[in-house]
C-alpha cells in the first residue's frame, strides 16, 4: 500500500516530498477558475492544500472539482509539501500541500446543520466577531448534542475524548501495577445497590430487575471470591430526575475495591497516588489536547499537591463555620457548601484536589462502616476537584449481622440483597473502595461547565438520542 501521513505530522521537514493524506474538507475557497484553497482537517489538525492549474499536473477540471466539494466531505489528497514565507492563517500546520491528486471518498450533504468553524469558537471569539458585525450562529448545547457527530469534530472535542481515554488508561495501568485485577460485574441485577428509588426497572424473563446503579455489591462479592484487589471500568445507570450540569443517567464508573489490612486510610492512599500520577501524566503527555480544549474553553491548570490533602468532615464544617456558612454538623454538604469549602481549601492549602473523610454515618449508604471510636461518623470519604465531587468511597461493613441491621435501618428490603449479605458468611477480610465518575474527572480537570461535554453521547433525563 501507499504511505499515508497524518495531518498532525505534517511539518517543514517534509518539504518537497510527496505526501498522501486523508481528511475532511474543512473550508473551500475558490480564487477565480484556476485556483482553489482547501483546508483539510484530520482529528482537529488542519493543513492548507492549494489546487492550481499546472500543465500536465493539474487540470482546470480538477480545480472545478475541488471548488465543488461540500464541506466535511472525506477526501484523499496527494501533493508536494511546501513551506510558505508567510504564516498560514486558519490552519494548525505551518506547511502547505501543492495538490497533484484529489479524490472524494465520501460526500457530505451540501448544507450542514452545524458549521464546524462556528462550533469551534470560544465565547471570547464569538463576542469579538459579533461586535465586528460578523454573521455567525452561536451553536447551543442542545443543537450540538442533536448533531453530535458533527460537534465531535471540533479540536476541543477531539481533545476532550483523547484526555478521557488517557484517564481510563492511567487508572487501569496504575492499579494493575498495585496488584489489582480488572473485573466485570453484571449490569442487570435484581435490585437497587445504592439505596433509593432511582433505578431503571426492566423485566428479566418475567422477573423484575434493574440496571445496576453501581458495581458496589458485586465488587465486594469479588473480594469474598478471593480477589483481594479489584477494579472495574463500566457503565453505571442512575434514573434520578437530576437535571444539572453534573448528572447523567448513564455514566462510566471507575470502581475500586480492596482488602484493608489495618485502616481505611489505605484506600485513601491509593486515591492520592493514583490521581497525582494521573494529573502528572495528563499535564505531561496530553499538552496538545489540553491546549486544544483550552483554546475553546479557557481554563487554568489544576492546582494539586504531591501529597494529597486530607481533611476530616469536622474540620471542613469548622472551616465553613469560620467563614460564616451555617452547616448541620451531621448533615450532608450541599453543592453550594462543597464549592465554598473548595474555595476555602484553595486559599488555605493551595490545592484544588483534596479528600474529605469521616463523614457522618447518617448521610452515607447502608454498607458504610461506622467509625470505631464514634459511630455517628463513618470510615468514608469524598474527593473533590475544584469544589465538586468526583469520588465517593468508604470502608464497608463486612460483618453480615451488622450489615443486615444497617440495611434494614436504611429502609432496604433485606430479601433483595440476601445473596450479597450471605456471601459475607463464608469469611471475608475487612475491605473498602471507591467509585469515580469518569466524565466528572475530565469535566473538572478541564474546568468544563457541563458534564455533557465529556460524555460522547450523553444520556440525561431529557435525552436518549442520538
Nearer to ligand 4AD, 293 or 394 (CB): 394
Q: Which is nearer to ligand 4AD, 114 or 436 (CB)?
A: 436
The label of the residue with cell 428479566 reads 204
Residue written as cell 438520542?
Answer: 465
The set of cell numbers assigned to 45 is 489538525
Indicate which residue of 123, 127, 240, 347 is catalytic.
240
Query: Shortest Cβ distance from residue 12 to ligand 4AD (Å)?
Result: 44
Active site residue 177: no
Name the catalytic one among 78, 125, 266, 389: 389
Q: Which residues contact 414 (CB under 8 A, 6 or more apart)?
A: 404, 407, 408, 421
Cβ neighbours around 118 below 10 Å, total: 15
- Annotation says 310 is catalytic: no
Q: Which residues here bind ligand 4AD, judged by CB under 6 A? A: 194, 214, 216, 238, 242, 247-248, 251, 253, 255, 389-394, 433-437, 439-440, 451
Rounded least distance, CB 181 to ligand 4AD, Å: 17
**Which CB, 37 or 359, lies closer to ligand 4AD?**
359
Coil, strand or helix at 330: coil
Q: Determine how many CB atoms are found less than 10 A away from the CB of residue 352.
A: 23
- In the complex with ligand 4AD, the residue whose CB is nearer, 78 or 388, is 388
Q: Catalytic site residue 148?
A: no
d(CA 267, CA 255): 12
Contacts of 258 by beta carbon, 8 Å cutoff, 6+ apart: 180, 223, 228, 229, 230, 266, 267, 270, 431, 432, 433
Catalytic residue list contains 96? no
Cis-peptide, bond into residue 262, ω within 30° of zero = no
**Measured from the CB of residue 164, what is the shortest distance to ligand 4AD in angstroms?**
13
DSSP letter at 13 equals G
Q: Is the dihedral of CA 203, 204, 208, 209 positive or negative?
A: negative
Catalytic residue among 172, 247, 295, 463: 247
- The answer to whether the CB of 346 falls within 8 A of the CB of 409 is no
CA–CA dist 430, 261 (Å, integer): 7
Residue of 229, 364, 440, 452 marked active site: 440
In the complex, residue closest to ligand 4AD by CB: 437
Query: Cα torsion at 440, 383, 344, 439 (round to 10°)?
Result: 0
246 belongs to the catalytic site: yes
CB of 227 to ligand 4AD, least distance (A): 16
Q: Least distance (Å) from ligand 4AD to the CB of residue 319?
A: 21
Q: Which is nearer to ligand 4AD, 230 or 451 (CB)?
A: 451
The answer to whether residue 250 is catalytic is no
Please tell me the number of Cα atoms within 13 Å of 464 on its side-chain side. 1
Cβ nearer to ligand 4AD, comparing 247 with 263: 247
Question: Which CB, 45 or 218, lies closer to ligand 4AD?
Answer: 218
In the bound complex, what is the minimum distance in angstroms from residue 234's beta carbon to ligand 4AD?
12
Report the distance separating Cα 172 and Cα 181, nearest Å: 9
Question: Of the listed 192, 214, 392, 455, which one is catalytic?
Answer: 392
103 catalytic per annotation: no
CB of 232 to ligand 4AD, least distance (A): 10
In Å, what is the CA distance from 84 to each residue of 27, 96, 326?
19, 7, 63
Rg (CA), the chain: 27
Q: Least separation, in Å, of the C-beta of 436 and ligand 4AD?
A: 6
Q: Are strands 229-237 and 250-259 parallel, antiparallel or unpaired?
A: antiparallel
Residue (220 or 296) nearer to ligand 4AD, CB: 220
Residues 6+ apart with CB under 8 A from 70: 25, 107, 108, 109, 110
Active site residues: 238, 240, 246-247, 389, 392, 440
Amino acid at each position: 500500500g501507499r504511505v499515508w501521513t497524518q495531518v498532525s505530522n505534517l511539518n517543514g521537514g517534509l518539504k518537497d516530498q510527496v505526501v498522501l493524506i486523508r481528511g475532511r474538507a474543512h473550508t473551500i475557497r475558490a480564487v477565480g477558475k484556476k485556483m482553489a484553497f482547501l483546508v483539510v482537517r484530520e482529528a482537529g489538525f488542519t493543513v492548507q492544500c492549494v489546487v492550481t492549474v499546472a500543465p500536465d499536473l493539474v487540470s482546470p477540471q480538477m480545480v472545478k472539482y475541488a471548488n465543488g466539494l461540500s464541506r466535511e466531505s472525506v477526501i484523499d489528497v496527494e501533493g508536494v509539501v511546501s513551506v510558505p514565507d508567510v504564516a498560514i492563517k486558519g490552519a494548525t500546520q505551518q506547511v502547505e500541500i501543492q495538490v497533484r491528486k484529489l479524490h472524494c471518498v465520501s460526500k457530505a450533504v451540501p448544507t450542514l446543520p452545524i458549521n464546524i468553524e462556528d462550533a469551534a469558537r470560544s465565547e471570547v471569539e464569538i463576542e469579538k466577531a459579533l461586535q465586528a458585525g460578523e454573521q455567525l450562529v452561536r451553536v447551543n448545547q442542545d443543537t450540538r448534542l442533536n448533531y453530535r457527530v458533527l460537534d465531535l469534530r471540533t479540536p476541543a472535542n477531539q481533545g476532550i475524548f483523547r484526555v478521557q481515554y488517557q484517564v481510563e488508561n492511567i487508572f487501569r495501568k496504575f492499579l494493575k501495577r498495585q496488584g489489582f485485577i480488572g473485573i466485570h460485574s453484571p449490569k442487570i441485577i435484581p435490585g437497587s445497590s445504592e439505596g433509593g428509588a432511582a433505578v431503571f426497572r426492566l423485566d428479566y424473563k418475567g422477573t423484575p430487575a434493574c440496571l445496576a446503579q453501581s458495581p458496589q455489591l458485586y465488587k465486594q462479592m469479588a473480594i469474598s471470591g478471593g480477589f483481594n484487589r479489584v477494579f472495574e471500568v463500566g457503565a453505571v445507570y442512575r434514573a434520578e430526575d437530576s437535571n444539572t450540569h453534573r448528572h447523567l443517567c448513564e455514566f462510566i464508573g471507575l470502581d475500586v475495591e480492596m482488602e484493608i489490612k489495618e485502616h481505611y486510610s489505605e484506600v485513601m492512599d491509593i486515591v492520592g497516588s493514583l490521581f497525582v500520577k494521573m494529573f502528572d501524566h495528563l499535564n505531561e503527555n496530553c499538552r496538545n489536547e489540553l491546549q486544544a480544549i483550552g483554546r475553546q474553553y479557557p481554563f487554568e491548570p489544576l492546582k494539586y499537591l504531591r501529597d494529597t490533602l486530607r481533611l476530616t468532615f469536622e474540620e471542613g464544617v469548622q472551616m465553613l463555620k469560620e467563614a460564616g456558612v451555617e452547616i448541620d454538623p451531621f448533615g450532608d454538604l450541599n453543592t453550594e457548601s462543597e464549592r465554598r469549602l473548595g474555595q476555602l481549601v484553595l486559599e488555605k492549602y493551595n490545592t484544588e484536589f483534596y479528600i474529605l473523610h469521616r463523614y457522618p454515618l447518617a448521610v452515607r449508604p447502608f454498607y458504610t462502616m461506622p467509625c470505631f471510636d464514634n459511630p455517628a461518623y463513618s470510615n468514608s470519604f469524598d474527593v473533590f476537584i475544584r469544589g465538586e465531587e468526583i469520588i465517593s468511597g468508604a470502608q464497608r461493613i463486612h460483618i453480615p449481622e451488622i450489615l443486615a441491621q444497617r440495611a434494614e435501618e436504611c429502609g432496604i428490603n433485606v430479601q433483595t440483597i440476601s445473596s450479597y449479605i450471605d456471601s459475607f458468611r463464608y469469611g471475608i477480610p475487612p475491605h473498602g473502595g471507591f467509585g469515580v465518575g469518569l466524565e466528572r474527572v475530565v469535566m473538572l480537570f478541564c474546568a468544563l461547565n457541563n458534564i455533557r461535554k465529556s460524555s460522547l453521547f450523553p444520556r440525561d433525563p431529557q435525552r436518549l438520542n442520538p
